[in-house]
């Protein structure tokens, strides 16, 4: 996952704002300490313009908390907007934003 991000990338989500590399670190730490989540993704819409691209991806994120002893499924819906650039022959994410 880390290889997908450009060195100077930025990520803005509800739970994280910072670099792409930091996002990967945070994702790994979250998966180690929490109950798993499931991300259901739709087919991406890709707009390509030379060495740049924008990808729009509708997703739902399911988590499984226990609230006052009751097991639950919490679904959140979002659209992720990825901005990519062709850098040294490889497509890299330079910006990731989420709209919830």
pLDDT tier at 5 (50, 70, 90 boundaries)? very high
Largest CA distance in the chain: 53
pLDDT tier at 4 (50, 70, 90 boundaries)? very high
Q: b or e along 37-73 (b: 16 or more beta carbons within 10 Å of the residue's beta carbon)? A: eeeeeeeeeeeeeeeebebebeeebeeeeeeeeeeee
User: What does the domain layout of the chain look like in residue ranges?
Assistant: 2-99
2-99 fold = Nuclear Transport Factor 2; Chain: A, (3.10.450)
pLDDT tens-digit series, residues 10-48: 999 998 999 999 999 998 888 787 767 889 999 999 999
Q: Given a cut of 70, is residue 92 above it in pLDDT? A: yes
Q: What pLDDT score does 13 carry?
A: 94
Q: What pLDDT score does 37 carry?
A: 82
pLDDT tens-digit series, residues 51-91: 999 999 999 999 888 999 999 999 999 999 999 999 999 99
Q: How far apart are CA 73 and CA 26, in angstroms?
A: 23
């Amino acid at each position: 996952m880390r290889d997908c991000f450009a060195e100077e990338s930025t990520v803005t989500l509800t739970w994280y704002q910072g670099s792409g590399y930091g996002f990967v670190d945070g994702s790994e730490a979250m998966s180690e300490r929490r109950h798993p989540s499931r991300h259901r993704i739709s087919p991406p819409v890709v707009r390509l313009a030379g060495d740049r691209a924008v990808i729009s991806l509708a997703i739902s994120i399911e988590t499984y908390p226990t609230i006052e002893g009751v097991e639950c499924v919490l679904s959140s819906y979002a659209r992720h907007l990825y901005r990519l650039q062709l850098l040294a022959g490889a497509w890299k994410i330079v910006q990731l934003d989420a709209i919830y």
